[in-house]
Amino acid sequence: MVYILGVPIKDERPVKYALLGFYGIGRAVAENICAKLSFHDTLKVKDLSDSQQTGLSQLLSNMTIEGDLKRQRDANISRYYNIRSYRGLRHAAGLPVNGQNTRTNAKTSKKLNRLQRRSYSTSSIGTLGWNRVLPTAVSILQKIKHIR
Protein backbone atom coordinates (compact mmCIF):
# COMPACT_ATOMS: atom_id res chain seq x y z
CA MET A 1 0.00 0.00 0.00
CA VAL A 2 1.33 3.40 -1.05
CA TYR A 3 0.64 6.61 0.85
CA ILE A 4 0.37 9.81 -1.14
CA LEU A 5 -0.26 12.95 0.95
CA GLY A 6 -1.32 10.73 3.83
CA VAL A 7 -4.02 8.89 1.89
CA PRO A 8 -3.59 5.12 1.54
CA ILE A 9 -3.79 3.83 -2.03
CA LYS A 10 -3.98 0.16 -2.96
CA ASP A 11 -1.11 -1.09 -5.10
CA GLU A 12 -3.17 -3.17 -7.51
CA ARG A 13 -5.47 -0.38 -8.67
CA PRO A 14 -4.81 1.69 -11.80
CA VAL A 15 -3.68 5.21 -10.96
CA LYS A 16 -6.70 6.69 -12.71
CA TYR A 17 -9.07 4.89 -10.33
CA ALA A 18 -6.84 5.12 -7.27
CA LEU A 19 -7.04 8.92 -7.46
CA LEU A 20 -10.78 8.65 -6.84
CA GLY A 21 -9.92 7.82 -3.21
CA PHE A 22 -9.03 11.46 -2.61
CA TYR A 23 -11.88 13.67 -1.39
CA GLY A 24 -12.50 16.26 -4.09
CA ILE A 25 -11.17 14.27 -7.06
CA GLY A 26 -13.73 12.84 -9.42
CA ARG A 27 -13.42 10.86 -12.61
CA ALA A 28 -12.84 13.83 -14.92
CA VAL A 29 -10.20 15.41 -12.67
CA ALA A 30 -8.43 12.04 -12.27
CA GLU A 31 -8.31 11.65 -16.05
CA ASN A 32 -6.93 15.18 -16.43
CA ILE A 33 -4.23 14.50 -13.84
CA CYS A 34 -3.20 11.28 -15.63
CA ALA A 35 -3.14 13.08 -18.97
CA LYS A 36 -1.06 15.94 -17.56
CA LEU A 37 1.49 13.53 -16.10
CA SER A 38 1.25 11.30 -19.23
CA PHE A 39 0.21 8.15 -17.34
CA HIS A 40 -1.26 5.32 -19.37
CA ASP A 41 -4.83 4.31 -18.46
CA THR A 42 -3.75 0.88 -17.24
CA LEU A 43 -0.71 2.04 -15.23
CA LYS A 44 -0.97 0.58 -11.74
CA VAL A 45 0.10 2.30 -8.55
CA LYS A 46 2.76 -0.34 -7.84
CA ASP A 47 4.39 0.39 -11.23
CA LEU A 48 4.92 4.09 -10.50
CA SER A 49 8.54 5.16 -10.32
CA ASP A 50 9.80 7.46 -7.59
CA SER A 51 9.90 10.46 -9.92
CA GLN A 52 6.32 9.75 -11.04
CA GLN A 53 5.20 9.53 -7.40
CA THR A 54 6.85 12.83 -6.53
CA GLY A 55 5.33 14.48 -9.61
CA LEU A 56 1.92 13.17 -8.65
CA SER A 57 2.25 14.33 -5.04
CA GLN A 58 3.47 17.77 -6.17
CA LEU A 59 0.50 18.14 -8.50
CA LEU A 60 -1.94 17.00 -5.80
CA SER A 61 -0.42 19.30 -3.18
CA ASN A 62 -1.19 22.31 -5.39
CA MET A 63 -4.88 21.32 -5.57
CA THR A 64 -7.56 21.97 -2.96
CA ILE A 65 -8.46 18.45 -1.83
CA GLU A 66 -9.12 16.43 1.33
CA GLY A 67 -9.08 18.49 4.56
CA ASP A 68 -8.56 21.85 2.86
CA LEU A 69 -11.62 21.33 0.68
CA LYS A 70 -13.73 20.24 3.66
CA ARG A 71 -12.61 23.31 5.64
CA GLN A 72 -13.46 25.53 2.67
CA ARG A 73 -16.92 23.94 2.37
CA ASP A 74 -17.58 24.35 6.11
CA ALA A 75 -16.39 27.97 5.99
CA ASN A 76 -18.79 28.69 3.13
CA ILE A 77 -21.70 27.16 5.04
CA SER A 78 -20.85 29.12 8.19
CA ARG A 79 -20.56 32.30 6.10
CA TYR A 80 -24.07 31.70 4.74
CA TYR A 81 -25.33 31.23 8.28
CA ASN A 82 -23.52 34.30 9.65
CA ILE A 83 -24.99 36.62 7.02
CA ARG A 84 -28.39 35.05 7.79
CA SER A 85 -29.12 34.18 4.18
CA TYR A 86 -31.85 31.75 3.20
CA ARG A 87 -29.30 29.08 2.39
CA GLY A 88 -27.67 29.49 5.79
CA LEU A 89 -31.00 29.13 7.57
CA ARG A 90 -31.83 26.01 5.58
CA HIS A 91 -28.43 24.53 6.49
CA ALA A 92 -29.04 25.35 10.14
CA ALA A 93 -32.47 23.73 10.03
CA GLY A 94 -31.13 20.61 8.35
CA LEU A 95 -33.47 21.00 5.40
CA PRO A 96 -32.73 20.87 1.65
CA VAL A 97 -30.91 23.98 0.50
CA ASN A 98 -31.32 24.12 -3.26
CA GLY A 99 -35.09 24.48 -3.51
CA GLN A 100 -36.05 20.82 -3.37
CA ASN A 101 -39.56 19.81 -2.44
CA THR A 102 -40.03 19.01 1.26
CA ARG A 103 -43.65 17.91 1.23
CA THR A 104 -42.94 14.43 -0.08
CA ASN A 105 -39.16 14.27 -0.35
CA ALA A 106 -36.32 14.99 2.09
CA LYS A 107 -37.85 12.72 4.71
CA THR A 108 -34.47 11.25 5.61
CA SER A 109 -33.00 14.71 6.08
CA LYS A 110 -35.91 15.73 8.27
CA LYS A 111 -35.61 12.60 10.42
CA LEU A 112 -31.85 12.77 10.84
CA ASN A 113 -31.85 16.44 11.76
CA ARG A 114 -34.99 16.47 13.92
CA LEU A 115 -33.21 17.28 17.20
CA GLN A 116 -31.16 19.96 15.57
CA ARG A 117 -34.31 21.59 14.11
CA ARG A 118 -36.15 21.60 17.44
CA SER A 119 -33.73 24.09 18.90
CA TYR A 120 -33.93 26.27 15.80
CA SER A 121 -36.93 28.48 15.05
CA THR A 122 -37.50 30.66 11.99
CA SER A 123 -40.15 32.79 13.66
CA SER A 124 -39.80 35.19 16.54
CA ILE A 125 -42.70 33.47 18.30
CA GLY A 126 -42.00 29.91 19.37
CA THR A 127 -39.51 27.96 21.39
CA LEU A 128 -35.85 28.71 21.94
CA GLY A 129 -35.02 25.30 23.28
CA TRP A 130 -36.50 22.46 25.27
CA ASN A 131 -37.45 24.41 28.38
CA ARG A 132 -37.63 28.12 27.60
CA VAL A 133 -40.69 29.37 25.72
CA LEU A 134 -40.91 32.80 24.18
CA PRO A 135 -44.06 34.76 25.03
CA THR A 136 -46.68 34.56 22.31
CA ALA A 137 -48.83 37.47 21.22
CA VAL A 138 -51.86 36.00 23.03
CA SER A 139 -50.06 35.75 26.38
CA ILE A 140 -48.79 39.33 26.03
CA LEU A 141 -52.34 40.60 25.34
CA GLN A 142 -53.65 38.68 28.36
CA LYS A 143 -51.05 40.31 30.59
CA ILE A 144 -51.99 43.74 29.27
CA LYS A 145 -55.67 43.10 30.07
CA HIS A 146 -54.80 42.07 33.64
CA ILE A 147 -52.76 45.26 34.17
CA ARG A 148 -55.69 47.52 33.20
Domain definitions of the chain by residue range: 2-66, 70-122
CATH assignment of 2-66, among 1.10.940.10, 2.60.40.420, 1.10.260.40, 1.10.8.50:
1.10.8.50
**Can you give the length of the chain in residues?**
148
Query: What are 9-24's pLDDT values in tens digits?
Result: 999 999 999 999 999 9
- Going by CATH, does the domain composed of 70-122 fall within 4.10.910.10? yes
Percent of the chain's residues with pLDDT above 90: 57
Q: What is the pTM of this model?
A: 0.67
